[in-house]
Structure 1
Amino acid sequence: MAEDTIVRPGSDELRLAVLIDADNARAQHLENLLAEIAKYGKASVRRAYGDWTSNQLNSWKNELLQHSVQPIQQFSYTVGKNATDSALIIDAMDLLHAGHLDGFCLVSSDSDFTRLAGRIREDGLVVYGFGERKTPKPFVAACDTFIYVENLTETQTEEPVSKEPALKRDRQLDRLLSSAVDTAAGDDGRANLGLVGSNLSRLAPDFDSRSWGYKKLKDLMEAHPDYQVGSRATGDGKTPNTYVRHLKSGR
């Protein structure tokens, strides 16, 4: 597990259902989305819901075939009523009650899935949400982790030609980092970076260092003037742990 990856015991073994609301998601994000999901577990179920007789979903068809995603046909029986949402929710509940999964990935920018996310979490399963930055906050908050798809499509180069961007400071970011680090800190004021990541996920499901222009949490913390990032030996000969220290904490 990467040193700045959110701590999720056994996350590489999670069996996940990927349920896509094709009416409220874009086909261009599918490849990057599935690559992101692979970080959390295995996409055992892959389904996309929509009226596939409609020309509006033509862009999805080749993408679904290439990535082995099963299209689920749902006709729009009445104008103004979203039958796709109902079909996805019914299937999600069937999968939940079958008891063969560890979590769900709900792909939509629609707040109609807020209660579904909450219901799945009530059964102890993890919920990952994926949507655009316009996604209503109630749906974001209902997920354990929410990833904005815009962060998945930004071009990443192996050898950057320039330094990383200057950190865009804001009060919300400062409050989140302060709370996450101080909560995880030991008596010496040092906090394990992985625990800091876990705290951030609990405090703000949509927290993502990429939203501030940094690929990894470690890079974001190193750029922040209020924190010191370092490493220390574990004593067992394994890879040293990365820690963060809040310079303004007085410890």
Structure 2
Amino acid sequence: MALPNENTAKLAVLIDADNAQPGNVEALLAEVAKYGTAHVKRAYGDWTGTNLKGWKDQLLAQSIQPIQQFAYTYGKNATDAAMVIDAMDLLYSNRFDGFCIVSSDSDFTRLAARLRESGLTVYGFGQRKTPKPFVAACDKFIHVENLIDTTATTPDAAPAPKSTSATQLKGDTALVNLLRNAVEAASDDDGWATLSSVGNIVTKQRPDFDPRTWGYAKLSDLITATTLFKTDRRSPGEGKPAIIFVRDRRRAEQTA
């Protein structure tokens, strides 16, 4: 599925406050803005308790609507059901292009799948410990640890990872195979593939793929850092941005 244009996509952001940290919200919403405009921002939880008291300032600062959901039974999470009901109501309003589900809880796996079945794009946001089924159910999944700036001082903020060395990258078999297979799948007869096509294939195979996991801001930076690929910037015409092409160095050696 093609991701909607970030300038026009109307998004609904639903936050499971029981499974999200208030200190990450500002960075999270900045990430959401890359994919569209958040027309709805709601956070769900039992706001009468003390465990969510850190959310108040963020709710006000980011104009997030708190949705009260009492915990009817101790130890049972009633927030999930409230989020699912609201999500379906918003879906049937036919006003949105996509949903952002903020939680590390696998209970939202079926919701993400159902929204995608209706043709909407689903972005998931959660910690690296998020169960794989929920990650796979999203079009794209962003680990909140990758959104935290190294200068962040909030108690719940984790430092961003340092850039991984070329030796370590080449030793990451799963990463190398993922990138090489994507380049091969998107390549022309000469072995060259556009970086955008490679990125689309990688995201479809691994919704939680993010160059920031290895300490690089962009896919082009990560691919260059591996030293396993050749890159070429080509201008499609005057006034148009350059297009980055990628080729496996093994392919280049074979044709040399």
**Same fold at TM > 0.5:** yes
Q: What are the Cα deviations for residues 120-167 of structure 1, in whole angstroms up to 9, with x where unaligned?
A: 0000000000000010000000000000000000327xxxxxx95414
Residue-by-residue CA offset, 1:93-139 (whole Å, 9 max, x unaligned): 10011110000000000000000000000000000000000100000
- Alignment check: 8 A CA contact 2:5 2:35 kept: no
Of residues 166-175 and 193-202 in structure 1, the stretch that sits farther from structure 2 once superposed is: 166-175
More divergent stretch after superposition (138-147 vs 220-229): 220-229
CA distance in 1, matches of 2:221, 2:213: 12
Match of 2:181 in 1: 179
Pairing 1:80-99 to 2, within 5 Å after superposition: 80-99=75-94
CA RMSD of aligned residues (A): 1.7
TM-superposed deviation, 1:239: 2.2
1:200 aligns with 2:187: no
Instruction: Give structure 1 stretches of 5+ with no counterpart.
Output: 1-6, 157-162
Matched residue, 2:38: 43
CA distance, structure 1, for counterparts of residue 3 and residue 84 of structure 2: 26
Q: Would you identify which runs of 4 or more consecutive aligned residues in structure 1 move more than 4 Å?
A: none
| SS of aligned partner of 1:12 | coil
User: Which deviates more from structure 2 when the two are superposed, residues 57-66 or residues 241-250?
Assistant: 241-250
In structure 2, which of residues 231, 236, 249 is the aligned counterpart of residue 234 of structure 1?
A: 236
Q: Among residues 107, 115, 120, which one is paired with 1:120 in the alignment? A: 115
Q: Name 2:141's counterpart in structure 1.
A: 146
Q: Kindly provide the amino acid, as one letter, of the partner of residue 240 in structure 1.
A: A
CA distance in 1 between counterparts of 2:165 and 2:85 reads 46
Cα deviation digits, residues 25-77 of structure 1 (max 9, x gap): 10010000000000000001000000001110011111010000000000000
The alpha-carbon deviation at position 9 of structure 1 amounts to 5.1
Q: Is contact 2:6-2:33 (8 Å) kept? A: no
Q: Which has the higher contact order (CA 8 A, sep 6+)?
A: 1
Correspondence 1:219 to 2:230 = no
How many residues are treated as equivalent by the alignment?
240
Pick from 71, 77, 85 the counterpart of residue 72 of structure 2.
77
Residue 58 of structure 2 aligns to a residue in which SS? helix
Specify the SS of the correspondent of 2:141.
strand
